């Protein structure tokens, strides 16, 4: 099942994908079908009682590490983001006027389903609720070599679109063999596969849960492969992962 959170009829609604439409699943509009174009798409994540932990990976695809002139890391290169950087599908992302290089990063996003602590790789899939697509934009002009990648590059307002769907883990038979693709104004600029991750999803869950508790609703953005290009105002960026969804975003000044 593909789950969405949308704003429609003056309120936030929970819905699932059904025959190319959204079927509202809770509340007074339960059973109502609405078209994809008639709603505002929100991040497909249920609210959580405390700040959502958003872990993001850098250099987690060998080819991307090479592209950025780094040797592959020996342990996951992780940084944390604030939930406020997340926005939904079909939203606008701001590009500061003075920058020279702002690029997308198409990433498989893992949503944790159960409290996870000291989880072994072999059991890691039991702790996953589902998957979605994240576009973890970076503005390279602001890179500084202090806790790099620094938050001015990676934790900007509007710079982490996520969605459109939260896809149940049970529906994704092998999350480690999914094609990823990004298009800019319809032209393919990035293509890869989750099979090329340096640290795969079970390894990441084992690693993080070895020193911290992951809670339901927490996110792991698993990094991006080769093929990043500059995005200009007006560009329409579609980040897509096979079986998970197509996340559309437009750059604006």
Name the residues that contact another protein, by CB under 8 A: 50-53, 55, 77-85, 117, 142, 144-152, 155-157, 210-215
Nearer to another protein among residue 56 and residue 166 (C-beta)? 56
Preceding peptide of 23 cis, ω within 30°: no
E strand segments, 19-70: 21-24, 33-34, 40-42, 54-58
Q: Are 180 and 106 in contact (CB under 8 A)?
A: yes
- Work out how close the CB of 162 gets to another protein at its nearest, in angstroms, rounded to a whole number: 16
CB of 142 to another protein, least distance (A): 7
Give 116-157 as a DSSP string: BSS--GGGGGGGEEEEEEEE--EEGGG--SSSSSPHHHHS-T
Contacts for 23-30: CB closer than 8 Å, 24+ residues apart: none
Shortest Å distance, C-beta 242 to another protein: 29
Q: Please tell me whether the peptide bond between 164 and the residue prior to it is cis, using omega within 30 degrees of 0.
A: yes
Residue with tokens 């896809």: 167
Report, in Å, the least distance between residue 75 CB and another protein. Answer: 8
| C-beta closer to another protein: residue 68 or 177 | 68
Q: How far is the CB of 222 from another protein (least distance, A)?
A: 15
Measured from the CB of residue 123, what is the shortest distance to another protein in angstroms?
18
Nearer to another protein, 151 or 169 (CB): 151
CA distance 145 to 59: 15
Written as six digits, the tokens of 37 are: 């174009």
Would you call 163 helix, strand, or coil by DSSP? Answer: strand
CB 238 within 8 A of CB 163: no
């Amino acid at each position: 099942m593909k789950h969405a959170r949308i704003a429609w009829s003056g309120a936030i609604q929970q819905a699932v994908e059904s025959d190319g439409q959204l079927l509202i699943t809770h509340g007074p509009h339960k059973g109502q079908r609405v078209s994809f174009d008639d709603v505002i798409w929100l991040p497909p994540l249920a609210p959580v009682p405390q700040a959502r932990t958003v872990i993001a990976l850098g250099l987690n695809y060998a080819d991307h590490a090479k592209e950025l002139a780094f040797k592959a890391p020996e342990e996951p290169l992780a940084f944390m983001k604030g939930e406020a950087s997340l926005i939904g599908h079909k939203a606008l992302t701001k590009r500061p006027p003075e920058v020279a290089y702002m690029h997308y990063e198409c990433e498989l996003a893992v949503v944790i389903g159960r409290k996870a602590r000291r989880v072994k790789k072999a059991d890691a899939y039991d702790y996953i609720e589902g998957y979605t697509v994240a576009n973890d934009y970076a503005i390279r002009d602001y890179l500084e070599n202090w806790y790099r990648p620094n938050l001015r590059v990676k934790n900007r307002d509007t710079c982490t679109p996520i969605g459109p769907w939260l896809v149940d883990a049970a529906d994704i038979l092998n999350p480690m063999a999914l094609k990823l693709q990004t298009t800019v104004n319809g032209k393919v600029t990035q293509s890869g596969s989750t099979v090329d991750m340096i640290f795969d999803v079970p390894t990441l869950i084992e690693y993080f849960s070895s020193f911290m508790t992951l809670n339901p609703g927490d996110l792991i953005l698993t990094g991006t492969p080769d093929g990043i290009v500059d995005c200009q105002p007006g560009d329409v960026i579609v980040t897509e992962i096979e079986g998970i969804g197509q996340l559309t975003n437009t750059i604006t000044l």
